[in-house]
Amino acid sequence: MLNEAELTRDGTNPKPNSDRLILLADDEPMLRSVLSEFIETIPGFIVAEANDGVEALDYIRHNDVDILLSDMSMPRMGLDELLEVVTREFPLIAVIGTSGFSDFDDTKRLLLAGAQDFLPKPLNLNNLEHTLNFIFARGDILAMASEAFGSESLELRNGGSDSFQKIEAKLNCLPGARGLLMRHASRTAALAGLVYGDESPADLAELRLASLLHEIGSTTRYLTTIAEPRGLLPQELAFVRAQFCVGARLVEKALPERKASAIISEHPNWITMESPSGNEGEGDQELSRRLGILNAVDALAHSRADRGGLSKEDTRRAMDGLYQQTRADALLQALDLWPVIEEFYAESWQAG
């Protein structure tokens, strides 16, 4: 464990290039000690500690912190106030909130304010390790996307197939529940190319890019929530929508000239979206609507973190049932294209 005297911006005992510095802010010394010892067993991470938000902010202003892992309620300055300063002054620091007394409203508020994840107490150490590793893995993925599609390029206009494949391969290497979620995103992007292949190359590329990255903001609590074998409560649905704002925010930072972030942030509202009438500015909404449709199709048809795979007959019945419940005209597009969708999933259905 390092203190401020051992690790400073002036070059005194700088951290190795491969190490990531995590600042652990919590007013419980025993918990800090246990977490610090655990984190330092994870290759590539070193830890510093702060007793409250004031100490944490002072440390951040004098050291190169990569991740702030902070309790919500602390003396002198809690995470809400600390997060406001950190997101404004140190936007590259990834913030993870923790609490033993939080509800979905607290979590949603933190995510919308700039936090990248939330872990309920008592902390599950496996979840903590997966979260820390995922934050940097998705940073690498977003960097790849930025390099390939960060500007209006010939590669994007031509579809950028090689770059899509490289990003997809990186996504598909992720383990656990997040790996399942990213493979869902890869299938959604592939399905976009089949279902909407007659779109303009530029719009199709934007839709594929958004489809590929639409789960990049996934949080540990989101994964836990959607794994529940039941319908989600209204406050849980609101929280699920908030986590897509995390993804949209991260994609916007990496790809400020792309439409992907706008498509991602709006796609959970696809059921209430109507087909555009041709007015200027409605193109992005149509792409969001299509991402929502594709996301719903794959969620029904294939295994994800929150549900098992269905047979093709069950999937069709589920699609019909969803239309009967929502009467969403947008869903008719997917139903009309059912032969294409069925062919896309034929291999996995046969394997099942």
What does the pLDDT look like over 293-323, one tens digit per residue? 888 888 777 655 455 566 777 777 777 777 7
Whether 132 is in a domain gets the answer no
C-alpha 131/C-alpha 128 separation (Å) is: 5
Whether 163 is in a domain gets the answer yes
Residue 347: per-residue pLDDT = 65
Which of these three, 51, 72, 99, is where a domain ends? 99
**CA trace torsion 217, 221, 222, 225 (10° rounding):** 180
Between 152 and 7, the higher pLDDT residue: 152
Average pLDDT estimate for 316-343: 74
Residue 285: per-residue pLDDT = 85
Predicted model pTM: 0.83
The CATH number of the domain holding residue 333 is 1.10.3210.10
Are 178 and 274 contained in the same domain?
yes
Whether 14 is in a domain gets the answer no
Query: CA triplet 325, 329, 333: central angle to 5 degrees?
Result: 110
C-alpha 283/C-alpha 329 separation (Å) is: 17
Q: What is the residue whose two structure tokens read 């590669």?
A: 155
Q: What is the residue whose two structure tokens read 């656990």?
A: 176
Q: What does residue 37 show for φ and ψ, rounded to 5 degrees?
A: -60, -40
Q: What is the residue whose two structure tokens read 């959970």?
A: 268
Average pLDDT estimate for 162-182: 88
Are 337 and 196 contained in the same domain?
yes
Question: What is the SS3 assignment for 173?
Answer: coil
Are 167 and 38 contained in the same domain?
no
Query: CA triplet 92, 93, 95: central angle to 5 degrees?
Result: 135
Please determine, for residue 37, whether its predicted confidence score (pLDDT) is greater than 90.
yes
Between 265 and 323, the higher pLDDT residue: 265
DSSP for 245-303 reads HHHHHHHHHH-TTSSHHHHHHHGGGGGGPPPP-S-TT-HHHHHHHHHHHHHHHHHHHS-
The CATH number of the domain holding residue 29 is 3.40.50.2300
Please determine, for residue 51, whether its predicted confidence score (pLDDT) is greater than 70.
yes
Are 170 and 77 contained in the same domain?
no
Are 232 and 310 contained in the same domain?
yes
Looking at the chain, the whole-number percentage of residues with pLDDT higher than 70 is 83
Are 144 and 263 contained in the same domain?
yes
Whether 28 is in a domain gets the answer yes
Domain total of the chain: 2
Are 297 and 154 contained in the same domain?
yes
Are 332 and 275 contained in the same domain?
yes
C-alpha 291/C-alpha 294 separation (Å) is: 5
Whether 104 is in a domain gets the answer no
Query: CA triplet 196, 199, 202: central angle to 5 degrees?
Result: 120
Which of these three, 53, 70, 99, is where a domain ends? 99
Percentages helix, strand, coil for the chain (3-state, rounded to 5) are 60, 10, 30
Which of these three, 74, 99, 124, is where a domain ends? 99
Are 192 and 340 contained in the same domain?
yes
Whether 208 is in a domain gets the answer yes
Are 24 and 157 contained in the same domain?
no
C-alpha 100/C-alpha 308 separation (Å) is: 30
Are 176 and 307 contained in the same domain?
yes
Are 51 and 150 contained in the same domain?
no
* Residue range of the domain that includes 213: 137-351
Please determine, for residue 213, whether its predicted confidence score (pLDDT) is greater than 80.
yes
Q: Copy the structure tokens of residue 191.
A: 């399905």
C-alpha 282/C-alpha 52 separation (Å) is: 47
pLDDT digit string (tens) for 122-159? 999 999 999 999 999 999 999 999 988 887 654 555 55
Residues in the chain: 352
Whether 115 is in a domain gets the answer no
Host H or E run for residue 332 = helix 329-336
Whether 6 is in a domain gets the answer no
